[in-house]
Chain A
Amino acid sequence: MTILEVEGLGIDFGGLTAVGKVSFSVDRGKIVSVIGPNGAGKTTLFNMISGIYLPTRGCVRLEGRDITGVASHKLAAMGMSRTFQNLMVFQQMTVLQNVMAGRHLTEGVHVLPDLLGLPGSRRRNRESEREAQRLLELVGLARGARREASELSYGGLKRLEIARALATQPKLLLLDEPAAGCNAVETQEIDKLISDIAETGVSILLVEHDMKLVMKISGHVVVMDQGEKISEGRPEVVAHDPRVIEAYLGTEAEGAKTHASG
């Protein structure tokens, strides 16, 4: 049972190919990781899947429906939500309000009752608050719920974004480098959190730069280099794929390359 299919997806920026033709799929309830060295086109791929960039070619299907070029707010309603590599937390809200904002689709838009502070508006607020509290507990931020979001640590902000994305009740969650910039302890916590989320039945597609990190939790890994998919499969298989080693060594440590091949 696949939830997401990506078929021949690619994009050109001003004549330059950023992503060539990438195909893969995500099975329901599974964690799939896209890895690759810096500049491999992972985030660009993500931006195409989540409707922020319009792809030049190829298509994306969510639960069998073609969603290529669909606006991202509509994708959220179809059950896809995402986080960002360079955080996009609502800085002017409290931690709790950030997650409550993620309940937008459940709350619906009822401007007049909200302006007048009618009971219906307050009831929706209470429901959202309860659910947001629950999600903050899940990501381990329940204690600082009333603090300004801007006061959180870097790792805290990352988890806040995950909680906000979860508040949209996604079937598929896209995580863009959830552990980038986190220390070892924080990284482990995020790993655990991602596994926990997957266990609740949410499918996860994650982009990660650090290979070690995804090996533990992913069931399937897609490796990209220079805008193309160069390998995919189970993590332990991919890790020993010579093309993958080449790609990583080639960009990460030019010096090591000579050792590896020589």
Chain B
Amino acid sequence: MSGLSVRTATLLALALIVVLAPVLFPSSFYYRVGALIFVNGLATMGLVILVGYAGQVSLGHAGFVGIGAYACALGPVYLGLPQILCVVLGAAISALLAFLVGRPILKLKAHYLAVATLGLGILIYMVIYNEGWLTGGPDGMDVQPLGVRELLKDYGIKVGSSELWYWISGVVLLVGAFVALNLHNSPAGRALRSLHDSEVAASTIGIDVARMKLTAFVISSVYASVAGSQVALMNRFVTPDVAGFIHSVELLTMAVLGGAASVMGAVVGATILTALPQVLTVFEDFEHVLLGLIMMLVMIFLREGLVPSLARRMRRSVS
């Protein structure tokens, strides 16, 4: 990739995928799958920043997805806010929670951090599940529309919901990728990435380890929250499952499958894990078996993830 920086190349490739993929779509169902992939890809990018850059694990990120989703479900009903502000509100609440909880939690290392984040995610899930008077409990609740389709209709443009959300989520994904790639080789990004390899060495060059971990946690919570808001707005319905443990694990698997430190990997991981159940509906019963198997196999045989491993192989064959 001489001449073209990884950042530019990744952004170009992603933009091309978003624009050109619909050529292959025979029906609006595929737009919907595409939109789901982009939304999951966005949440996964947040984990790329947390897990791949900063080397911290989170087993509770779906909790932030849930906050983003329920912000759009509750905001218009209880606060009378327009949906776009609800997305911002959800992100702000997620960031604030990540900031407050992250301070003590991120002092923990490895499995303790994993369990603490898992606990945080399940606590958020429990609140959504148990406080039925507010959230509809396990039955879920309806979500008011974003209002873009009506707006477009006023201008005489008719667009299907799936198509619309394909483009919205595609653009948001590109923005997310732009931000994550900016961060990668920026001063703050280097400070984050230095934690990944050695926290002790990072501290000896003046990096406030706790503060940088917290920064990564907050940024990644905002990614998850915005993804959650999109899911809610797209489906016009939310259930507590968006915040569930399995969803947290799915997101983490998407990140490590594609390559935890790679923005492109986030999209690849999200594509595989989102498309697989849609394509292999025959295997519906085996969904969890496959998910578990993928997690184990990737970590045993492909520890860096698909994208970095392939990139390495290509570099080697070139040189």
Contact = CB atoms under 8 A, between A and B. Distances in A.
B187 A125 contact: yes
Interface string B142-178: 0000000000000000000000000000000000001
Interface residues on B, range: 20 to 34
Interface stretch (A105-113, A181-189, A208-216, A232-240): A105-113
Interface in A56-115: 71-73, 75-77, 81-82, 84, 88-93, 97, 100-105, 107-111, 114-115
B2 to A, nearest CB: 11
B197 interface: yes
A104 B182 contact: no
A107 B204 contact: no
Interface string B85-124: 0000000000000000000000000000000000000000
Nearest to B186: A114
A203 interface: no
B187 A93 contact: no
Contacts of B189: 114
B211 A109 contact: yes
A14 interface: no
A164 B205 CA distance: 8
Contacts of A81: 204-206
Contacts of B290: none
Given A92-B261, A121-B187, A125-B186, A116 B204 contact: no
A92 B207 contact: no
A103 to B, nearest CB: 7
A89 B204 CA distance: 12
Contacts, number: 115
A128 interface: yes
B193 interface: yes
Contacts of B203: 51, 71-73, 76
A11 interface: no
Given A71-B203, A73-B206, A116 B193 contact: no
Interface of A: 50-52, 71-73, 75-77, 81-82, 84, 88-93, 97, 100-105, 107-111, 114-117, 121, 124-125, 128, 164-165, 167-168
Given A88-B201, A93-B190, A121-B186, 15 more contacts: A73-B206, A73-B208, A82-B204, A88-B200, A97-B185, A97-B190, A101-B190, A105-B205, A109-B188, A109-B215, A115-B179, A115-B219, A116-B179, A125-B186, A168-B205
Interface of B: 178-179, 182-183, 185-191, 193-194, 196-198, 200-209, 211-212, 215, 219, 261
